Structures are given as C-alpha cells and as structure tokens.
Structure 1
Amino acid sequence: MAYIHDIRAKVGHMPLIMTSSSGVLFNSRHEVLLQARADTGDWGFPGGYLDYGESFQTALMREFKEDAGWLVKPVKFLGILDQDFYTYPNGDRVQPINAVYVVTLQSQQQFSTKPTETVKTAFVSLDEDPRFFNQQHEKIWQLARDYASQCWGYEKH
C-alpha cells in the first residue's frame, strides 16, 4: 500500500492505470467467497493492486490473505479485465487492469483480515445477485458463474 500512497502523494486524484489481481474461491457447495469492503460496504472479490516487482499471482496470494484471511494458490486463469473505470470514495480515479484466477486453499488456518479493508467475508450462492462495489467485480461474478457452468453444469435458478 505504501507504493500506491507514494504515487498518490505525487499525482493526487488524477486517473491512473493500475494492475491488480482477484481470486475466486469456491467451497464444496460451489458458493463463492466474497469480501464486504470497508470503504463502501459493498461486496467484492478478495484481491488488490500489485506492489512494484510483484507478479499477478504473488500479489493475489498476498492480497487474499490480507482481505480474506486465507492462504491460497491460483489454479486457473480466468482472464484479464481491462476496460473498466472506477472512482473511489476518496476521489482516486483508476482504470484497473485485473487478472482473475480461480484459487484453492493452501491451508485451513485462517488469519486476521485488515479492518481498514474488510468488514467481513462470506460464501455466497451463485444464484444471488450481490451488490458489488464496481462494474469490474460484477464481471468477475459472471466469470465465476461461467466457470461453475463449465465445471459443474451450474445454471442460475
């Protein structure tokens, strides 16, 4: 986060292209883990921006632990989302280039989450339509549904 803070100290709220990575974790009932965000209260997928020198996968593993408290491993690349724009509640404007992966747990041990980023986490049925904090996370939700359809024959009820 210091990297982003340092950039913002120089450029203020001007639009930035930022690289990020998000993870889709399914449980045994094919529900998806979501994060209630501290900044908006809306739902999102665990993940976040890369620090300088990180890969998409390394950033995803770090951010997933910070956001959701789980150690995960990316197992399936779902795609890059690059045509979305978002203005954070503090006025920061971004075009996030987001690499999306299906992840699996590496450990059953759960860690504390960052209270400045996460209010709570919950597994949510793919039949629900959660209120996501931005359009890009709505697209990730659809990628999760498409993946579940391919793997388990999921169809929205």
Structure 2
Amino acid sequence: MADYIKMIRGLVGHTPIILNTAAGVVLNAEHEVLLNLRADTHNWSLPGGFLEYGETYAQACVREVKEDSGLEVEVVRLLATFDEGTVAYPNGDVAQTITQLFLTKPVGGNLLETKTNETLALEYFPFSQLPPLLNKQTEEMLKFAEKNA
C-alpha cells in the first residue's frame, strides 16, 4: 500500500502519532557519514524514512536510502532501535518515530546530483563535524553509529 502515511494523515490530520522509520548509515573510505539536507525541514539527517504498509524495516531502509541519495545499498546489519523523541514538521504534523538504524554498504547507483522533493543536498561529514541535525534522535543515532559502525 503506497503512500500509507498520506492515507493515515488524511484520517487523523495533524494529531501526534507514532510512526515506524528506517535509516541507513552509509560511510565513505574516510569513515565519514552520508547525510541529506532535507527539503521539508532544511536540516540534515540520515537517509531514511517511513515504512510503507507491509514493508520490513530493512526493506524500507534500502528503498529510502535509494530515494534520498540515489545509492543502491544492501543492509550489512542492524545497529540499534531508537524510540525516544518527536519530530514536528513544517506542515504541522507531529510524530514520535521508532527508528531501526542499519549499517549499509553501497552496491550500485550514484549520488543524486540534483534536488528532489525530499533532498536538497548530499554530503559526507566527519562524525566530529556534523551540521545542524533534524532532531535529538538523529543526533543519538549518529553518536551510536560513530562507535558501532
């Protein structure tokens, strides 16, 4: 069922809800992490997003990394699950996100070279020099990835 979140939001409006998300850690040879500048909030996050109905966390991770970055990845392993914190989106939506964070490795594709409706820019960052992030959960995921990826 594509656009599951859009359908749910059509029913509940901006009511705070709990959403399942998946994110992928993509590292380059210098052990820098790939982040995308989000079109909706204009801050940086890991490539990832909401599960569609019937999808596993790992499947959503692979799909969302491709959508956000242009890279085709395979999941290496689950790093951790993060379930604290909320996100308030510019359109008024509020959600508590339960995110499974995966270590991934690129197996194809190329980094997007143009803006999309979700990604304004892509860049690899050293863990010690991260830009303004989406939320506390993103910060916690990156701290965990630095030590465990």
Contact 2:111 2:122 in 1 (8 A): no
How does 1:72-151 map onto structure 2 within 5 Å?
72-107=73-108, 109-110=109-110, 112=112, 115-147=116-148
Q: TM-score if structure 1 supplies the norm length?
A: 0.89
Percent sequence identity over aligned pairs: 39
The residue aligned with 1:155 is none
Name structure 1 gaps, 5 residues minimum: 149-157
Name structure 2 gaps, 5 residues minimum: none
Matched residues in 2 for 1:147 and 1:27: separation?
15
**Structure of greater Rg:** 1
1:129 CA displacement? 3.0
Matched residues in 2 for 1:28 and 1:111: separation?
15
Question: SS at the partner of 2:134?
Answer: coil
How does 1:48-67 map onto structure 2 within 5 Å?
48-67=49-68
Contact 1:46 1:64 in 2 (8 A): yes
1:116 CA displacement? 1.0
1:147 CA displacement? 1.7
